[in-house]
């Protein structure tokens, strides 16, 4: 992509409405535009990151054996009356009537609809287990939308639902979700800690939230300092191997880690040696629930067992805040100049800065680097605008591409360009071919 042909409306001034770095930087980097309180248009750069995160979520869900589908954002109130949540949900639910005076709502979550889909088609244990998920817009009329996409009213969420015959099967599904979520966050370059949580309006007794540690997080968190050090890493996971999956969950949930909702001072002090006790703040980027037959009983989602009995299906639901993750990623990865994308989620793999636009040798070198990167399956952003070098650097630093190749007449006279890491700020001179090869190597390792 050439910047001269792209749509990247960066702002020079700090928007006064933004209180935290991620909100400020998303506005300044031309990623989002506010349309109403808590409702945003995703401009091309923001949309690119959103799609990238959704792709990682899809890949990790499918790897765990979960099946994607897509449900509508608009739902009928009747479905929610069956579960009893139409009245219970309260003013966060956006309700309206269609032209025939039918009561409708914009879905804040989809337990009722997925249970209805399930009961329409499945009636035997032979069709179990199955886990269905979607990535779809949700609406919750938050009383105080704030911090940009962190607490929006309209937001993009992965929501998955498991259907199993027995409680053990459903707990395996719960564990599978925990492990696939850990992998998902690690691939994005984030450390998200599973913490024992409260179930809220979803219901049920088994639930963990995943929190990214950040000063600006809305939840207070209490944890053992050894927990954020835990990594899934490169280990191979067989999602059908119940013992292995349960073992990983145990590894990540044995040491103390809780939010203020479930924090217990006595347990904290008894279990965690003083030097390991940490109190901080965190951003909730996901939550998993096992709730058994809460919805299947209320809505008559029943299956026959091998011995001919009829039982309500065992269920759980599992969410990832895909749009909120962009805020969390930026909170965890920025400096005073702008965003610093981890390679796994960056909107463009590398920026190319032409220091002397219009100089035929420099233009030709940039074109050929751009072409070589594209031929290697990479997605570079070439700043080919007629602008001062300082302003080109400032834009690149603001939008946070992890690598920059700088090309100017002085370097070219010695057959070198400059390769710069956004994270360390360190630059190295090398031939254009070597720079392209290095970028290829970095992304091939992901
Ligand atoms: N208003 C929102 N804006 C952006 N993301 C959200 C919002 N509400 C929830 N999410 C994301 O969706 C995920 C799954 O939804 P869930 O029902 O668990 O949310 P929640 O527990 O009500 O969130 P919160 O406690 O932050 O209000 C959350 O972990 C969070 O990452
Ligand atoms: Mg939650």
| Single residue among 338, 358, 380 that ends a domain in this structure | 338
**For ligand 1, atom 26: residue with the closest CA:** 284
- Residue 427, domain extent: 348-444
Query: What b-and-e string marks burial along 213-243, b requiring 16 or more CB atoms within 10 Å of the CB?
Result: bbebbebebbbbeebbebeeeeeebebeeee
**150 and 175 share one domain:** yes
Closest atom of ligand 1 relative to the 325 alpha carbon: 31
Give yes or no for residue 202 having a pLDDT over 70. Answer: no
Q: Tell which residue, 391, 351, 367, 381, has the closest CA to residue 6.
A: 381
Is the distance from the beta carbon of residue 321 to the nearest atom of ligand 1 less than 6 Å? Answer: yes
Give yes or no for residue 348 having a pLDDT over 70. Answer: yes
For residues 78 and 97, give the distance between their C-alpha atoms in angstroms, rounded to a whole number. Answer: 12
Give yes or no for residue 78 having a pLDDT over 70. Answer: yes
**187 and 293 share one domain:** yes
* pLDDT tens column, 128-160: 999 999 999 999 999 999 999 999 999 999 999
Judged on CB neighbours under 10 Å (0-12, 13-18, 19+), 368 is middle
Query: Of the bound ligands, which one is closest to the alpha carbon of residue 327?
Result: 1
**322 and 359 share one domain:** no
Q: Is residue 87 part of a domain?
A: yes
**181 and 71 share one domain:** yes
Give yes or no for residue 199 having a pLDDT over 90. Answer: no
Q: Tell which residue, 201, 219, 276, 415, has the closest CA to residue 209.
A: 219
Contact between 231 and 292 under an 8 Å Cβ cutoff? The reply is no
Give yes or no for residue 200 having a pLDDT over 90. Answer: no
Number of domains in the chain: 2
* pLDDT tens column, 313-343: 999 999 999 999 999 999 999 999 999 999 9
* pLDDT tens column, 229-264: 999 999 999 999 999 999 999 999 999 999 999 999
Q: How far is the CA of 324 from the centre of ligand 1 (A)?
A: 8
**324 and 357 share one domain:** no
pTM beyond 0.75 = yes
Closest atom of ligand 1 relative to the 320 alpha carbon: 13
**284 and 354 share one domain:** no
Report the CATH number that the domain containing residue 364 is assigned in CATH. Answer: 3.40.50.800
Mean pLDDT across the stretch 439-443? Answer: 98
Give yes or no for residue 220 having a pLDDT over 80. Answer: yes
**312 and 354 share one domain:** no
Judged on CB neighbours under 10 Å (0-12, 13-18, 19+), 351 is buried
**165 and 216 share one domain:** yes
Give yes or no for residue 205 having a pLDDT over 80. Answer: no
Query: Of the bound ligands, which one is closest to the alpha carbon of residue 90?
Result: 1
Is the distance from the beta carbon of residue 331 to the nearest atom of ligand 1 less than 6 Å? Answer: no
**316 and 362 share one domain:** no
Give yes or no for residue 427 having a pLDDT over 70. Answer: yes
Q: Is residue 343 part of a domain?
A: no
Mean pLDDT across the stretch 180-193? Answer: 97
For residues 198 and 260, give the distance between their C-alpha atoms in angstroms, rounded to a whole number. Answer: 10
| Single residue among 320, 338, 356 that ends a domain in this structure | 338
Q: How far is the CA of 150 from the centre of ligand 1 (A)?
A: 9
The percentage of residues in the chain with a pLDDT greater than 70, rounded to a whole number, is 99
Q: What is the mean pLDDT of the chain?
A: 97
| Single residue among 305, 338, 371 that ends a domain in this structure | 338
Mean pLDDT across the stretch 208-216? Answer: 96
* pLDDT tens column, 280-302: 999 999 999 999 999 999 999 99
For residues 86 and 286, give the distance between their C-alpha atoms in angstroms, rounded to a whole number. Answer: 24
**195 and 169 share one domain:** yes
**38 and 174 share one domain:** yes
Is the distance from the beta carbon of residue 259 to the nearest atom of ligand 1 less than 6 Å? Answer: no
Is the distance from the beta carbon of residue 152 to the nearest atom of ligand 1 less than 6 Å? Answer: yes
Q: CA torsion sign, 378 to 383 to 389 to 390?
A: negative
**324 and 440 share one domain:** no
Q: Is residue 13 part of a domain?
A: yes
Residues with CB under 5 A from ligand 2 (ion): 287
The pLDDT assigned to 388 comes to: 96
For residues 107 and 96, give the distance between their C-alpha atoms in angstroms, rounded to a whole number. Answer: 12
Instruction: Mention every residue, 6+ apart, whose C-beta is less than 8 A from residue 408.
Output: 354, 355, 356, 362, 389
Report the CATH number that the domain containing residue 198 is assigned in CATH. Answer: 3.30.930.10
Give yes or no for residue 201 having a pLDDT over 80. Answer: no
**For ligand 1, atom 27: residue with the closest CA:** 151
The pLDDT assigned to 245 comes to: 98
Tokens 């535009």 -> residue: 33
């Amino acid at each position: 992509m050439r910047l001269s042909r792209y749509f990247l409306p960066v702002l020079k001034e700090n928007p006064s409405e933004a209180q935290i770095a991620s909100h400020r930087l998303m506005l300044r980097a031309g990623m989002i535009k506010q349309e109403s309180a808590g409702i945003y248009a995703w401009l091309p750069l923001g949309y690119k990151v959103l799609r990238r995160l959704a792709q990682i979520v899809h890949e990790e869900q499918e790897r765990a054996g979960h099946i994607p589908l897509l449900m509508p954002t608009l739902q009928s109130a009747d479905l929610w009356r069956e579960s009893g949540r139409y009245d219970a949900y309260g003013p966060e639910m956006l309700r309206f009537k269609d032209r025939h005076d039918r009561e409708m709502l914009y879905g804040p979550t989809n337990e009722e609809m997925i249970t209805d889909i399930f009961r329409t088609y499945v009636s035997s244990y032979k069709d179990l287990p199955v886990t269905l998920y979607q990535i779809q817009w949700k609406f919750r009329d938050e009383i105080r939308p704030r911090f940009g996409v962190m607490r929006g009213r309209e937001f993009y969420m992965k929501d998955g639902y498991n259907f199993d015959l027995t409680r053990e099967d459903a707990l395996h599904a719960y564990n599978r979700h925990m492990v696939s979520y850990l992998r998902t966050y690690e691939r994005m370059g984030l450390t998200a800690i599973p913490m024992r949580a409260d179930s809220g309006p979803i219901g049920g007794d088994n639930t963990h939230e995943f929190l990214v540690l950040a000063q600006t997080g809305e939840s207070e968190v209490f944890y053992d300092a050894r927990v954020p050090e835990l990594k899934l890493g490169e280990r191979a996971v067989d999602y059908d191997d119940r013992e292995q999956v349960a073992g990983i969950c145990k590894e990540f949930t044995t040491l103390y880690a809780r939010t203020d909702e479930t924090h217990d001072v006595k347990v904290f002090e008894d279990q965690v040696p003083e030097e390991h006790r940490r109190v901080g703040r965190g951003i909730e980027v996901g939550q998993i629930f096992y709730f058994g037959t809460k919805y299947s009983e209320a809505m008559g989602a029943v299956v026959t067992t091998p011995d001919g009995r009829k039982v309500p299906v065992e269920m759980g639901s599992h969410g990832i805040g895909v749009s909120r993750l962009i805020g969390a990623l930026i909170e965890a990865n920025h400096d005073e100049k702008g965003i610093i994308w981890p390679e796994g989620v960056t909107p463009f793999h590398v920026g190319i800065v032409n220091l002397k636009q219009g100089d035929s040798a420099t233009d030709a070198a940039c074109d050929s680097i751009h072409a070589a990167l594209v031929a290697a399956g990479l997605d570079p952003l070439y700043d080919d605008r007629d602008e001062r070098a300082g302003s080109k650097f400032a834009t690149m630093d603001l939008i946070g591409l992890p690598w920059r190749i700088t090309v100017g007449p002085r370097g070219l006279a010695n057959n070198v360009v400059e390769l710069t890491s956004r994270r360390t700020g360190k630059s190295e001179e090398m031939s254009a071919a070597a720079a392209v090869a290095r970028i290829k190597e970095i992304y091939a390792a992901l």
